[in-house]
Amino acid sequence: MHEQILLWLVILLAIAFDYINGFHDTANAVATSVSTRAIQPRYAIIMAALLNFLGALVSTGVAKTIGGDIIQSPDFVSSQVLIAALVGANFWNLASWWFGMPSSSSHALVGGLIGAVVVSADISALDWGGIFRIFMGLVVSPLAALAIGYVIMIVLLWLFGNHSPFQLNRKFRRLQLLSAAMMAFSHGSNDAQKSMGIITLALLSAGHLSTFEVPLWVKIACATAMGLGTAAGGWRIIATVGRKVFRMESINGFAADLNSSVVISVATFLHLPVSTTHVVSGSIMGVGCAKRATAVNWNVARSMVVTWVSTIPMSALVSAGVFWLLRAVGI
């Protein structure tokens, strides 16, 4: 009975992680289209919520990476470990959301798992090959987004630079609806799978599954939580991503969203969990640099980088402390 209660607590915390991820990362899908007034905020949120839900149902490759490539074996996993990891990740997501700083839910979850596993077993329980692969995906994806975003923006300016700003904005404001929809779908396809991986790992370690295959009810639960969280909105971070990094026009917003959706979709195809926050922010910086380097608010960008770098160690420390507390009180 005790173990069943702990297992249900893991499931509830994982679903809460997806819900928090939804409103924390709403900015990724709608910040550019809202900031350029291509779509009204409430309609942008509804569109993003629906497409996040649909995107979350398309694949389970990222879930298998999260559940199988960080820890050497399910034998090193207990409900207490996963509870501590999820508390650490949720704590950091809420803290960064409160201060309006876009941070990575992927980094928070990876850090939470690392901290809890190291305290519960030891450092040898970690799959360093898998962690390195995940880490490289998390690091390379925003750099790739920045570089490719710069190139896409240069190409668009070369193709349409002779049009008046009014004509450009009118044309690309409509196209932004398509690019924002692509971005929301790709966000759901990558981010919701992280909680799917945690729940499936919990079920596997508890003996309820014989192989790492994500059950249908887990897919639906995580997709629903992501969609509802997105519907709640994340206006603090929308303001940072949409307005404070680079003052965008419709053509810039289209380029950033199109680039981000492609980078995230490629990562999902490769079964790599990436930070949609990092990718979108990298895309916006790259698009801004195509106009001129000084168009980007590098002070805000620097603060965002500090938040990103802090995420894994801070969430790891919180999860390690939570696991130590659970063990101290005999849970």
pLDDT of residue 160: 84
- Name the residue with tokens 């603090």: 236
CB 296 within 8 Å of CB 69? no
pLDDT of residue 44 exceeding 80: no
Interatomic CA distance for residues 286 and 292, integer angstroms: 10
User: Which one is predicted more confidently, 229 or 23?
Assistant: 229
Q: Which residues contact 211 (CB under 8 A, 6 or more apart)?
A: 204
Task: Work out the average pLDDT over 258-262.
Answer: 91
Angle made by CA atoms 123, 135, 221, in degrees to the nearest 5: 90
**CA-to-CA separations, 302 to 102, 107, 270, 275, 305, in angstroms, rounded:** 12, 18, 29, 17, 5
For the chain, how far is it from start to end, CA to CA, in angstroms?
Answer: 13
CB 10 within 8 Å of CB 198? yes
pLDDT of residue 319: 95
Q: Convert 204-241 to b/e letters by CB count within 10 Å (16 or more is b).
A: bbbeebeebebeeebbebbbbbbbbbbbebbbbbbebb
pLDDT of residue 235 exceeding 60: no
Confidence grade of residue 321 (pLDDT, cut at 50, 70, 90): very high
| pLDDT tens-digit readout, 138-181 | 888 889 999 999 999 999 988 887 777 777 778 888 888 888 88
Q: Which residues contact 18 (CB under 8 A, 6 or more apart)?
A: 191, 192, 194, 195, 222, 225, 226, 229
pLDDT of residue 290: 84
